[in-house]
């Protein structure tokens, strides 16, 4: 109780020094003040600690623009709280279209007919756990395309990681599409990782080395970072390295638009 009284006196003395806040509170809460005839002024009835707390809110309210990291965290929390829900009826209907021992081609055809990308993703994961089934180029291609078109980049990233773990599966068109979607999502580091995966492929039976289209996609992503001189300077060395690799691979540059 003694500490409470000290706090009241401390806040009360601070509040008395701020006459503008006192007048404001007098206008909004007249019932908490009484007229003191001896000094001709209003004084507090009780609990003066309430008013400094009200005045503190105006002093500690920040009007600064939120930082980019804060906006990113808020956006991520919003996306997590608004995740789409799988349509179980549609998923079960798609399952019923497949025979007990379906082939990758049959799965690809069923996924291609789906309009809900979440159903496509669930079909892909469900098929991965079926006995004697292995995904091939077609199932990876159609699933990544569905997720990329729907801008479900986090889910697409999981499928791409599975794709990169299988060295024998891939094509130039598939990896170019993956790089394009990553650049659309501003995930340039992941796009460069896919590019390195293409560069490191040494198997002559699987030709998915970078082509002029691959370099055009990467150059377009790096040059579209805006007109900020600092950003352009940061990516300038990356663009030089890309251009040198393109020349070393005997790829003739074309006219970039």
In order along its 257 residues, the chain shows pLDDT tens digits of 445 445 544 444 444 445 555 555 555 555 555 545 444 454 545 444 444 444 444 445 567 778 878 887 887 777 666 677 888 999 999 999 998 889 999 999 999 999 999 999 999 999 999 988 999 999 999 999 999 999 999 999 999 999 999 988 889 999 999 999 999 998 988 998 999 998 887 666 666 888 889 989 988 888 775 555 555 566 777 778 888 888 888 887 776 54
Which residues of the chain form beta strands (DSSP E)? 33-36, 41-44
Q: How far is the C-alpha of 88 from the C-alpha of 76, rounded, in Å?
A: 25
For residue 43, list its beta bridge partners.
34
Q: Residue 206: in which H helix or E strand, if any? A: none
- Domain assignments of the chain as residue spans, ordered by start: 2-58, 88-207
pTM exceeding 0.75 = no
Task: Give the position of tokens 């039976």.
Answer: 205
- Give the three-class secondary structure for 13: helix
Q: How far is the C-alpha of 210 from the C-alpha of 176, rounded, in Å?
A: 8
Closest residue by Cα to residue 139 from 171, 104, 164: 104
Task: Give the position of tokens 């098929």.
Answer: 127
Closest residue by Cα to residue 208 from 169, 165, 247: 169
């Amino acid at each position: 109780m003694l500490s409470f009284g000290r706090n009241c006196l401390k806040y009360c003395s601070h509040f008395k020094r701020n006459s503008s806040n006192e007048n404001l509170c007098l206008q909004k809460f007249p019932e908490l003040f009484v007229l003191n005839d001896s000094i001709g002024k209003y004084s507090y009835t009780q609990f003066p600690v309430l008013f400094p707390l009200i005045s503190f809110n105006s002093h500690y309210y920040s009007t600064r623009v939120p930082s980019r990291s804060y906006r990113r965290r808020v956006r991520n929390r919003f996306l997590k709280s608004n995740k789409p829900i799988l349509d179980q009826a549609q998923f079960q209907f798609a399952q019923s279209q497949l025979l007990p021992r379906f082939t990758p081609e049959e799965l690809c055809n069923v996924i291609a007919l789906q309009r809900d990308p979440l159903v496509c993703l669930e079909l892909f994961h469900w098929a991965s756990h079926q006995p004697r089934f292995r995904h091939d180029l077609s199932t990876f291609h159609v699933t990544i395309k569905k997720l990329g078109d729907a801008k479900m980049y986090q889910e697409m990233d999981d499928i791409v990681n599975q794709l990169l773990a299988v060295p024998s599966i891939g094509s130039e068109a598939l990896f170019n599409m993956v790089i394009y979607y990553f650049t659309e999502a501003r995930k340039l580091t992941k796009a460069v990782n896919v590019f390195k995966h293409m560069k490191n492929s040494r198997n002559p039976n699987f030709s998915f080395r970078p082509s002029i289209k691959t370099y055009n996609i990467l150059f377009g992503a790096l040059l579209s970072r805006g007109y900020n001189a600092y950003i352009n300077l940061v990516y300038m060395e990356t663009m030089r390295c890309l251009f040198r690799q393109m020349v070393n691979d005997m790829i003739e540059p074309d006219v970039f638009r």
